[in-house]
Structure formats: C-alpha cells, structure tokens
C-alpha cells in the first residue's frame, strides 16, 4: 500500500498535469484527485496542497532548473506526465527541506515508472540526480 506522502505526490502530479493540459482549477483538480486516491484517510492532504501551491508559485525557478539540467529536452518537448513529475520532484529538491534527496528522487522515479512512458523513469532519474548534485 502506497504511503500517504506518495499518494500526495501522485495527486499533486495529476493536478499539475490537468492544469497544463486543460487549465483546470487547481483546488478542484487537487481535491478530485485526492478523493480518487482515497481521500484524507489515504492522502497527506496538507502535503499535497503544499506541493501544488509550491510548484505553481516557484514555477519559473523550477522550470529553469529543469531546462538547465536537460538541455536537449526543452519542457515543451517532454510528455506532460514526465514534465509534471519533474516539476514536483524539482520543487521538493530545490525548495523543500523535509525529505532527503534520495527519497525525493526514488519517489519521483517510481511515480514516473508507474504513470509515464517506458523511458520516463530513467529520464526523471537523470534530471533530478543532476539537480540534487548541483544543489549541494
């Protein structure tokens, strides 16, 4: 059974995806995604809300960091799921201090393998690993 934080990351990733694809309302999208994943009993609601708010607030910073660490892959060239996962992971690495980088990267890689393309896990690993090493 996935942890409450894992499900929070998934819900936030899905909301980021929906905001990019169809300009969804962030609160409605996040609430719907959390409910589909089991609601407050299953999802760390406050963590999911902080992830989504942080990604949206720090969008320019984290987008620039991703593009610097994936120069051959501009954000608009990435598939939307992978881009959404990278935005969440990069935000956690660059702006939050509550989880070790290895945990953040492993979570993002696992989510990429589950929701992304066949190559998403490797790509997410490479970009987030580069970000984590530049941060230190």
Domain boundaries, the chain: 4-135
Q: Is the model's pLDDT at 136 over the cut of 60? A: no
pLDDT in tens, 94-112: 999 888 999 999 999 999 9
pLDDT at 35: 96
pLDDT at 6: 95
- The CATH architecture annotation of domain 4-135 reads Orthogonal Bundle (1.10)
pLDDT at 135: 58
* Distances in whole angstroms, Cα of residue 12 to Cα of each of 30, 37, 131: 6, 11, 20
pLDDT at 2: 81
* Distances in whole angstroms, Cα of residue 85 to Cα of each of 41, 112: 23, 7
Instruction: Sort residue 117 into left (φ over 0), alpha (ψ -120 to 50) or beta.
Output: beta
Q: Is the model's pLDDT at 117 over the cut of 90? A: no
Q: Higher pLDDT residue, 70 or 49? A: 49
Average pLDDT, the chain: 92
Strands (DSSP E) along 30-134, which ranges? none
The pLDDT-based confidence of 134 (bands split at 50, 70, 90) is confident
pLDDT in tens, 32-55: 999 999 999 999 999 999 999 999
Q: Is the model's pLDDT at 12 over the cut of 60? A: yes
pLDDT at 62: 95
Give the integer Cα–Cα distance in Å for 89 and 9. Answer: 9
pLDDT at 98: 87
């Amino acid at each position: 059974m996935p942890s409450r934080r894992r499900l929070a990351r998934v819900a936030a990733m899905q909301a980021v995806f929906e905001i990019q694809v169809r300009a969804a309302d962030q609160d409605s999208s996040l609430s719907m995604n959390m409910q589909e994943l089991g609601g407050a009993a299953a999802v760390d609601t406050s963590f999911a809300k902080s992830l989504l708010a942080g990604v949206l607030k720090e969008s320019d910073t984290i987008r620039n960091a991703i593009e610097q660490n994936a120069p051959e892959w501009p954000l608009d060239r990435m598939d939307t799921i992978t881009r959404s996962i990278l935005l969440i992971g990069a935000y956690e690495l660059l702006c939050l201090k509550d989880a070790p980088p290895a945990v953040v990267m492993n979570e993002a890689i696992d989510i990429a393998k589950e929701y992304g393309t066949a190559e998403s896990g490797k790509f997410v690993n490479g970009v987030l690993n580069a970000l984590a090493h530049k941060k230190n």
